[in-house]
């Protein structure tokens, strides 16, 4: 028995869906674009944090007049790379004035609670006092500026011991002791050799100059007798400072003993 042909009703929505699918295929979808046909579902939007994969889904549903609806979704993969640069930690001014009327000796780093140091040094007597870059350095006691170094001349390829200090200041106190500060970030602009300073006066800030550029920020602190300008071996330290640093932190006026 011959069957009569069945006339199918033209459906514009199905045609639009088919054309959209064909267009995407001809465009050569890459592995970053996926075309799929699913059952009808509500449109969704997913937002992902930077550095992750986000999917933007667009759904087009055929009218309810058809028995089977087609939904075309396009998944797009995006990647966002963000670079975060953390600046070095820098200190601020001490919260309160540190100068005490009548006090003759001061811990060289102010405020003392930001500092960290040990009782030993490597191959000669001195102390490395660690503190954030920019921490205030003060004159331990009244005295005269002996030397000022404002140029970081250290070359790691040559490693000349005479230039390892970077920026530095030395003070000869009225007590006859030379106090030496090196690896500074800055030296007070008004300081010059021969200029008097008072106990607790700001002389510079902690840094990483000289051969400290590869270490944590600190000030190399040395005690010695006064000699002549440029005598780096003497000025870097002759007497262990640890017990005096402990006393000055406690507010005790203790004079270093150079005869030890």
State residue 124's pLDDT score.
Answer: 87
> What token pair was written down for 99?
């100068």
Lowest mean pLDDT among 21-25, 95-99, 151-155: 21-25
Query: What is the spatial distance between Cα 69 and Cα 165, in angstroms, rounded to a whole number?
Result: 79
Given 34, 55, 76, the domain boundary residue is 76
Could you tell me if residue 225 is inside a domain? Answer: yes
Tokens 């203790």: give the residue.
254
Given 27, 53, 76, the domain boundary residue is 76
Tell me which of 63 and 89 has the higher pLDDT: 89
Pair 18, 131 in one domain: no
Per-residue pLDDT tens for 120-144?
Answer: 787 888 999 999 999 999 999 999 9
Pair 36, 114 in one domain: no
Nearest to 144, CA basis, from 103, 200, 195: 195
Pair 129, 209 in one domain: yes
Pair 176, 239 in one domain: yes
Q: Is the dihedral of CA 161, 164, 168, 173 positive or negative?
A: negative
> What token pair was written down for 53?
């994969």
Confidence of residue 40 (pLDDT cuts 50, 70, 90): very low
Could you tell me if residue 44 is inside a domain? Answer: yes
Q: What total of structural domains would you count in the chain?
A: 2
State residue 13's pLDDT score.
Answer: 62
CATH at residue 219: 2.70.70.10
Pair 124, 182 in one domain: yes
For 127-157, b/e burial (b = at least 16 CB within 10 A) is: bbbbbbbbbbbbbbbbbebbbbbeebebeee
Please compute the mean of the pLDDT values over residues 225-232 and round it to a whole number. 90
State residue 20's pLDDT score.
Answer: 61
Could you tell me if residue 99 is inside a domain? Answer: no
Please compute the mean of the pLDDT values over residues 111-125 and round it to a whole number. 89
Pair 229, 118 in one domain: yes
Pair 35, 128 in one domain: no
Given 57, 76, 95, the domain boundary residue is 76
- Contact yes or no for 210/198 (Cβ under 8 A): no
Confidence of residue 18 (pLDDT cuts 50, 70, 90): low
Which contacts (CB < 8 Å, 24+ apart) does range 211-215 have?
211/154, 211/156, 211/159, 211/164, 211/166, 212/166, 212/183, 213/154, 213/156, 213/166, 214/156
Per-residue pLDDT tens for 75-109?
Answer: 434 444 444 444 455 655 554 578 899 999 999 99
Which structural domain range is residue 47 located in?
12-76
State residue 213's pLDDT score.
Answer: 92
CA angle 164, 165, 168 (to 5 degrees): 160
Query: What is the spatial distance between Cα 25 and Cα 253, in angstroms, rounded to a whole number?
Result: 86
């Amino acid at each position: 028995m011959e069957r009569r042909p069945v006339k199918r009703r033209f459906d514009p929505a199905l045609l639009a869906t088919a054309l959209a699918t064909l267009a995407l295929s001809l465009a050569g979808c890459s592995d970053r674009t996926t075309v799929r046909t699913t059952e009808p579902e509500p449109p969704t939007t997913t937002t992902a944090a930077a550095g992750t994969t986000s999917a933007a889904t667009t759904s087009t549903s055929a009218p309810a007049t058809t028995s089977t609806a087609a939904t075309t979704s396009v998944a797009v993969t995006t990647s966002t790379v963000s670079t975060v640069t953390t600046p070095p930690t820098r200190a601020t001014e001490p919260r309160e004035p540190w100068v005490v009327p009548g006090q003759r000796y001061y811990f060289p780093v102010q405020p003392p609670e930001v500092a960290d140091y040990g009782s030993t040094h490597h191959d000669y007597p001195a102390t490395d006092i660690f503190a954030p870059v920019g921490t205030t350095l003060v004159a331990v006691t009244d005295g005269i500026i002996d030397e000022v170094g404002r140029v970081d001349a250290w070359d790691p390829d040559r490693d000349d011991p005479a230039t390892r200090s970077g920026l530095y200041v030395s003070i000869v106190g009225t007590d006859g002791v030379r106090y030496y500060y090196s690896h500074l970030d800055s030296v007070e602009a008004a300081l010059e050799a021969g200029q008097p300073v008072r106990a607790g006066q700001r002389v510079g800030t902690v840094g990483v100059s000289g051969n400290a550029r590869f270490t944590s920020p600190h000030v190399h602190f040395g005690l010695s007798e006064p000699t002549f300008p440029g005598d780096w071996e003497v000025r870097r330290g002759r007497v262990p400072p640890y017990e005096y640093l402990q006393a000055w932190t406690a507010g005790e006026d203790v004079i270093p003993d150079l005869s030890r």
